[in-house]
């Protein structure tokens, strides 16, 4: 049996009724997430934003692992800060759903693969904080918002020795794609920083001694077809979910 893998949705206004209808939301996840899960041995299932605690628990009763997908900025109120000028799009309902879901996933020790926004949600769910804008707050920051297509890798990431991610990939450095202007600032106490870019920005977090709790700041769902490290990460996640 293929493990059932939940993929969290983001949402936008629009769809068949048109963008003029500001109350008409459309849940979505880019299809690369589902393709990466499917071709790595899992069965993808989308999780819409509209949930409550009871429905989250019921959904997780039926799933074997979770992908926290990319999306808008996490509202700074959830990590105790006021908004700064370069804060981007927000969706507090999405924040509440993903934070609640993440905490339940962690309580149950379900395999969790948190991608881009996902690593930020993982960190905030456990009490960590974020840089609201890398360029404004990190001295000597690299360009983390690439203009190249999603499948193109644009900068190098250093992996910490003896980490899960370094062990899985059997490498000390990899090249990654990059499309984010926020990043982990103070990691939650439970999480270990296991990769950084050349400017010091956190690129991976792990919770040691868990079945599989990994957050990455890049987008392996965009590179898994041609990039061996991306493919290995998805396969390791699906293997943990099926174990």
Radius of gyration of the CA atoms of the chain, in A: 17
Q: Which of 32, 203, 206, 221 is catalytic?
A: 221
Nearest Cα neighbor of 205 from 127, 152, 143, 146 is 127
Q: Which of 144, 155, 180, 219 is catalytic?
A: 219
Q: H or E segment at 67?
A: strand 65-68
Q: Which of 98, 116, 155, 203 is catalytic?
A: 116
Scan for tokens 């707050």, then name that residue. Answer: 137
C-beta of residue 169 within 8 angstroms of C-beta of residue 233: yes
Assess whether 116 carries a catalytic annotation.
yes
The three state secondary structure string of 139-184 is: CCCCCCECCCCCCCCCEEEEECCCCHHHHHHCCCEEEECCECCCEE
Assess whether 219 carries a catalytic annotation.
yes
First to last CA, the chain: 11
Q: Which residues are catalytic?
A: 116, 219, 221
């Amino acid at each position: 049996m293929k493990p059932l893998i939940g993929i969290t949705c983001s949402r936008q206004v629009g769809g068949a009724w048109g963008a003029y209808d500001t109350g008409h939301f459309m849940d979505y996840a880019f299809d690369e997430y589902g393709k990466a899960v499917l071709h790595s041995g899992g069965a993808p299932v989308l999780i819409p934003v509209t949930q409550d605690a009871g429905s989250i628990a019921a959904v997780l009763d039926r799933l074997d692992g979770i992908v926290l997908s990319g999306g808008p900025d996490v509202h700074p109120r959830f990590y105790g800060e006021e908004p700064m000028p370069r804060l981007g799009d927000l969706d507090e309902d999405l924040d509440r759903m993903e934070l609640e879901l993440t905490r339940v996933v962690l309580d149950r020790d379900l395999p969790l693969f948190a991608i881009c926004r996902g690593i930020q949600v993982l960190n905030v769910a456990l009490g960590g904080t974020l840089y609201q804008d890398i360029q404004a707050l990190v001295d000597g920051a690299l360009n983390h918002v690439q203009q190249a297509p999603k499948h193109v890798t644009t900068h190098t990431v250093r992996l910490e020795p003896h980490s899960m991610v370094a062990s899985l990939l059997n490498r000390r450095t990899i090249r990654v794609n990059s499309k984010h202007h926020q990043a982990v600032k103070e990691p939650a106490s439970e999480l270990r920083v296991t990769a950084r870019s050349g400017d010091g920005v956190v690129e991976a977090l792990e919770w040691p001694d868990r079945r599989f709790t990994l957050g990455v700041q890049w987008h392996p769902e965009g590179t898994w077809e041609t990039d061996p490290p991306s493919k290995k990460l998805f396969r390791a996640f699906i293997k943990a979910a099926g174990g």
